[in-house]
Amino acid sequence: MKGDRKYILIFLFPMAAFMSIFLYYPFFKSLYLSFFRTKGFFDKKFVGFDNYKRLMSDDLLGAATLHTLEIMLYTVVFQVGIALILAVMVDNISKFQRFYRTVFFFPVVISGTAISLLFVLFYNYNFGLLNNILATLGLEKVLWLSESNALKAIAVPTVWHYVGFYFVLFLTAMAKIPNDYYEAAKLEGIRGFKKMTKLTIPLILSDIKVVITLAITGTMKVFEFVWVIARGQNNTEVLGTYMYKKALVDQNFGYGSTIAIYMVVLGVVLALVANRLLKSEEITY
Amino acid sequence: MKRPSLVLMSMLLIFSMFLAACGGTNEVKNDPKETPKAEEPKKEEPKKDVALRVFSTFGGTDTAREAFQAAIDEFTTKNPNVKVDNDTMSANDDGFRTKVNTDMSSGNEPDLLFYFAGVDAQGFVDAGKVVPMNDILDADAEWKAGFTPSALENTRQKDGNIYAIPLTGFYEGLFVNKKLFADNNLELPTDWEKMKKAVSTFAAKGIIPLAAPFDQSHYVVEHFILSAAGPESQAKGLADGVDPNWEKGYAAMKELYDLGAFPKDAATIDLGMASNYYGTGKAAMILEGSWAFGGFADAAVKDNTTVIPFPVVPGGVGSGNDIIGGFGSGFYLTKATFDNADKKDAAIALMKHLTSPATIQKIAVANGGTPAAKVEITGLAQAAMDGFAMAANSKSINNPVDSRIAPETFSALRAGVQQVVTGKKSPADALKEAKTIEDENKK
C-alpha cells in the first residue's frame, strides 16, 4: 500500500495538471477578473464589487436566467422523457437493436452549429422549409421565431441533439438488470406497460438520477443553438450567449467573468437541489 | 486512507498557485523590449532564412483572398530566403478581434498585422505593441509618395502617429435594386418622402423594402445617426451628453418600421441572411459597405444595383450627401519584430511590397474598396463605379460612429433598435441607456 502511493500520484498527475491548466486556472482567473472594469485586453481597473452590484440589478441577466431555466425544463421533461421511452422500446425488441441504437445516437456526433444551421433553414420566414410546406398547402406563412415562440423553437433542436446520448445511457443501464427478474415477472404474469413501471424504471432509478443531473448541468452550456438560430433576440437570450456578448462582443471581460461566476454558482446550486430532490437508496442486484 | 487525497489536494493547490505565478510573469514579459534571440552574433552571411507570419482578414470568403495570396507569392519568389505564413481569419464575426487581441496581449504577435485603426487599435498601440511608421515612411520617399495623403491621414492614431499603413478603404451606403424601383414606378429614395413611398409600395407588394437585421444593425445605426445628427455631432460620440438630434434617427427607424420597412424576421436574422435577401432580389434596399458586392448571390441583382447616400431623416441636420467611409484599417509592424534584427528588414520589405501601388491596385480591383494609392482602377462593375462616384462626390466622408464609442455602448445602441421600433422604449430612453454604459466605460 505504501509503495503504491507513489504510483497513484504519478498516474494522477497528468490529469491533475490538465485540469489545473484548463479548468481551475481559468476559473480563478475569471474570479480575479470579475473585480475589474476592463476595456479590451490591455486596460483594466480594480472596481471592487461593482460588477456584482450590476449583476443584482441587471434585467437582461434575469431574463437570461429565466430563459435558461425554461430550456432546462424542456430538456428534463422531453430530453430525458423521450430518451427513456425510446430506451424501453428498443430494449424490448430483439431484432434491429443495433440499428436503432446507431440511428438514435447519430445526432450526438453532429456538431451543434451544423444542426443549428439546419434549423435556420427550417425556420426561416422567407424561404424556410416549414413555410414552404405551408405555402404549398395554401396556408399562411408562420413567423416561427416570433417573440413568443422563438425559445420553444430553439428548444426543439436542443432536445433532439442529446436525446441519443441519454438513450444509450438508459439502454446500458437496462442491459445490466439481471434476466432472472424478468423471468420471475413473466411467471407472475407481469408484462408490457406494467413491467416497465414496476420493474425496469425502479431498477434504473439511480441512472435516471444521473441523467437528470447531467441534463440540468448541460443546459447551462447551451450556446450555439441560441446564437446561430436567433442571436439571442426575441426573448431567447440564455446565460451562455449573454456572457459571450458581454465578454467578447462588448470586450467587457470583467462583467463577462462575473456572469461566468454567477453561472457556476447557479449550476452548482441547481445540481445540489436536483440531487437532494432525487435522493434514493442504491440498488444492488 | 485520507492521506493520499490530502496530498493530491495540496499538490493541486500548489500547482494552481504555480500557474497563477506563471500568469503573472507572462504579463511582465509582454514588455516588448524583451525579445527572444534578439542580439545574436552577426556574421556576414548573404541572407538568413526568415519566417514571417502575416495575420489578416484576407481569407475565407473575402473577395481579395486570391489577390492577397498572389502578392505574397510574388514577394517570396523574389526573396526565396523569406517564408511567409499567410494567417487569416474571416472578418464576418467578432471572432477575429478576439484572436488579434489575445495574440497581441499574450506575446504571440504576428510580424505584420492587418487590422483596424482607431479605438479598436488603441489598446495595443498604448501598450507599445506596434511601431510608429512615421520615420520609416519618411525614410523611403518613393514608398510614401505612392499613397494618397488623405488615406495615410485617415489611419493616424490619437497620439499623432501613423501606425497602420492602409491598403484599401471602404464606403458604406444605401444599396438599391434599380430594377425593382423601375418595375414599381418608383423614384430612387434620394429624400425621405421618396423613401417612405418606396417602403409602403414594396411592403404592399410583399417585397422586403430594407433588408436590415435588428441585432447586427451596425450599418442601420451608423446611417440613421449620421443623417439625423450630422457629421460633427456623430464624430463626438456620446462623450459630452446626448445630442437630441440622435433621437430623430431612432424615431425615423420607427417610422420606417411602422410602414413595414424591415423584414418580418428582422429580429432573428443576421447580416449574412439580410444580404442574402437583397442578393436574391427578395429585398429592394440594404445598408451595406463596399465589400458587400461579392456576397450578392444573383448576378442580375449585382448588375441592377447602385449605391446612394442615405437620405436625411425628418428633422435631421445631415446634408443628405454625407457618407460613412475611410481607410479604417492597415498593416501594423509589431514591436517584437522591429526589435528582432533577423526579421526587421524582411518584415519592412514585405510591408512595402504589400502596400505598393501595384499590390494596392490588385486588391482594390478584387474587393471594390477605395485604393490608398494613386492608381487607376478599371474593369469594375458599374455598381462599384457608382459607389466610388458617390464617395468622390460626397460632401463629407465620416468614420462610422462605432469608432467613436466603446464597443459595449455600440452594442447598447444596436440593442435599442428593436426596442424602439416595436415601441417598447422611446428613442430618448434607448440613448440614455447607451449613455450610461458609455459613462461606465469612461471611468
Query: What mean pLDDT comes out for the span A214-237?
Result: 90
pLDDT at A275 over 60: yes
Q: Which residue among A232, A233, A250 places its CB closest to the CB of B407?
A: A250
Q: Residue A85 to residues A90, A171, A274, B262: CA-CA distances in angstroms? A: 9, 10, 21, 44
pLDDT at B332 over 70: yes
pLDDT at B38 over 50: no
* CATH homologous superfamily, domain A50-277: MetI-like (1.10.3720.10)
Query: What mean pLDDT comes out for the span A5-10?
Result: 89
- Residues B215, A12: C-beta atoms closer than 8 Å: no
pLDDT for B275-331, tens place per residue? Answer: 999 999 999 999 998 888 777 888 889 889 999 999 999 999 988 889 998 888 899
C-alpha–C-alpha distance, residues A20 and B13, integer Å = 9
C-alpha–C-alpha distance, residues B119 and B130, integer Å = 15
Query: What mean pLDDT comes out for the span A160-167?
Result: 92
Contacts for B125 with CB less than 8 Å, ≥ 6 apart: B157, B159, B163
Q: What percent of chain A has pLDDT over 70?
A: 97
Phi/psi of residue A237, each to 5°? -60, 125
Q: What percent of chain B has pLDDT over 70?
A: 88
- Classify residue B104 as left (phi > 0), alpha (psi -120 to 50) or beta: alpha
Q: How confident is the model at residue B9 (pLDDT cuts 50, 70, 90)?
A: low
**pLDDT attached to residue B3:** 55
Helix A80-91, helix A150-175: angle, nearest 10: 40
Q: Helix or strand or coil: residue B316?
A: coil
Exposure string over A83-103, b if 16+ CB within 10 A, otherwise e: bbebbbebbeeeeeeeebbee
Chain A residues whose beta carbon lies within 8 Å of the beta carbon of residue B411: 245, 249-250
Q: Which residue among B127, B268, B408 places its CB closest to the CB of A234?
A: B268
**pLDDT attached to residue B8:** 56
**pLDDT attached to residue B41:** 44
Grid cell in block for residue A197? 413501471
Chain B residues whose beta carbon lies within 8 Å of the beta carbon of residue A41: 101-102, 104-105, 123-124
Query: What mean pLDDT comes out for the span A74-78?
Result: 93
Q: Which residue among B123, B216, B270 places its CB closest to the CB of A41?
A: B123
Q: Which residue among A5, A20, A249 places its CB closest to the CB of B411?
A: A249
The whole-angstrom distance between A206's CA and the closest CA on chain B is 26
In a 10 Å sphere around its CB, with 0-12 CB exposed, 13-18 middle and 19+ buried, how is residue A36 labelled? buried
Phi/psi of residue A210, each to 5°? -60, -45
CB pairs under 8 A between A and B: 110
Q: How confident is the model at residue A118 (pLDDT cuts 50, 70, 90)?
A: very high
Q: How confident is the model at residue B4 (pLDDT cuts 50, 70, 90)?
A: low
Q: Helix or strand or coil: residue B161?
A: coil
Q: Mean pLDDT for chain A? A: 89
User: Looking up cell 468622390, which residue turns up?
Assistant: B392
Closest CA to B288 of B177, B207, B378, B191: B177
- Residues A41, B263: C-beta atoms closer than 8 Å: no
Q: How confident is the model at residue A183 (pLDDT cuts 50, 70, 90)?
A: confident
pLDDT at B54 over 90: yes
C-alpha–C-alpha distance, residues A199 and A192, integer Å = 11
pLDDT at B270 over 70: yes
Query: What mean pLDDT comes out for the span A67-77?
Result: 93
Q: Helix or strand or coil: residue B176?
A: strand
pLDDT at B39 over 50: no
C-alpha–C-alpha distance, residues B165 and B331, integer Å = 5
The whole-angstrom distance between A40's CA and the closest CA on chain B is 7
Residue type, B352: K
Assigned CATH for B171-324+393-441: 3.40.190.10
How is domain B50-169+327-383 classified at the CATH fold level? D-Maltodextrin-Binding Protein; domain 2 (3.40.190)
C-alpha–C-alpha distance, residues B399 and A176, integer Å = 67
Q: How confident is the model at residue B30 (pLDDT cuts 50, 70, 90)?
A: very low
- Residues A248, B98: C-beta atoms closer than 8 Å: yes
Q: What residue in B sits closest to A147 (Cα-Cα)?
A: B267
Where do the structural domains in chain A lie, given as residue ranges? 50-277
Closest CA to B155 of B166, B171, B139, B146: B166
**pLDDT attached to residue B380:** 78
Q: How confident is the model at residue A136 (pLDDT cuts 50, 70, 90)?
A: very high
Query: What mean pLDDT comes out for the span B353-363?
Result: 91
Q: Mean pLDDT for chain B? A: 85
C-alpha–C-alpha distance, residues B151 and A271, integer Å = 57
Query: What mean pLDDT comes out for the span B250-259?
Result: 95
pLDDT at B207 over 70: yes
Determine contact, residues A258/A192, Cβ cutoff 8 Å: no
H-run or E-run covering B259: none
Determine contact, residues A233/B268, Cβ cutoff 8 Å: yes
Closest CA to A280 of A228, A219, A204, A225: A204
- In CATH terms, are B50-169+327-383 and B171-324+393-441 the same topology? yes
- DSSP, residue by residue, B317-383: -S-S-EEEEE--EEEEEBHHHHT-HHHHHHHHHHHHHHTSHHHHHHHHHHH-PEESBS----S--HH
Residues 156-195, chain B, touching A (beta carbon < 8 A): none
**pLDDT attached to residue A259:** 95
pLDDT for B284-297, tens place per residue? Answer: 999 998 888 777 88
C-alpha–C-alpha distance, residues A23 and A42, integer Å = 23
pLDDT at B43 over 50: no
Q: Which residue among A12, A143, A250 places its CB closest to the CB of B411?
A: A250
HEC secondary structure over chain A: CHHHHHHHHHHHHHHHHHHHHHHHHHHHHHHHHCCEEEECCCEEEECCCHHHHHHHCCHHHHHHHHHHHHHHHHHHHHHHHHHHHHHHHHHCCCCCHHHHHHHHHHHHHCCHHHHHHHHHHHHCCCCCHHHHHHHHCCCCCCCCCCCCCHHHHHHHHHHHHHHHHHHHHHHHHHHCCCHHHHHHHHHHCCCHHHHHHHHHHHHCHHHHHHHHHHHHHHHCCCCHHHHHHHCCCCCCCCHHHHHHHHHHHCCCHHHHHHHHHHHHHHHHHHHHHHHHHCCCCCCCC
Grid cell in block for residue B135? 520615420
Q: Residue B65 to residues A91, B69, B132, B367: CA-CA distances in angstroms? A: 54, 6, 27, 9
- Residues A16, B12: C-beta atoms closer than 8 Å: yes
Closest CA to B1 of A171, A8, A60, A148: A8
pLDDT at A43 over 90: no
Mutate to test the interface with A, among B27, B98, B268, B411 (most CBs of A within 10 A): B268
Q: What residue in A sits closest to B125 (Cα-Cα)?
A: A42
Query: What mean pLDDT comes out for the span B418-426?
Result: 93
Residue type, B438: E
Contacts for B30 with CB less than 8 Å, ≥ 6 apart: B105, B106, B107, B127
Residues 205-224, chain B, touching A (beta carbon < 8 A): 208, 214-216
Grid cell in block for residue A226? 441560441
* Number of residues that this document lists for chain B: 443
Residues of A in CB contact (< 8 Å) with B are 5, 8-9, 12-13, 16-17, 19-21, 24-25, 28-29, 37, 39-43, 45, 47, 120, 124-126, 143, 145, 147, 150, 229-234, 245-246, 248-252
**pLDDT attached to residue A186:** 84
Determine contact, residues A97/A153, Cβ cutoff 8 Å: no
Instruction: Please compute, for residue B69, the number of CA atoms within 13 A of its CA located in the half-sphere on the CB side.
Output: 9
pLDDT for B78-96, tens place per residue? Answer: 999 999 999 988 776 667 8
Q: How confident is the model at residue B399 (pLDDT cuts 50, 70, 90)?
A: confident
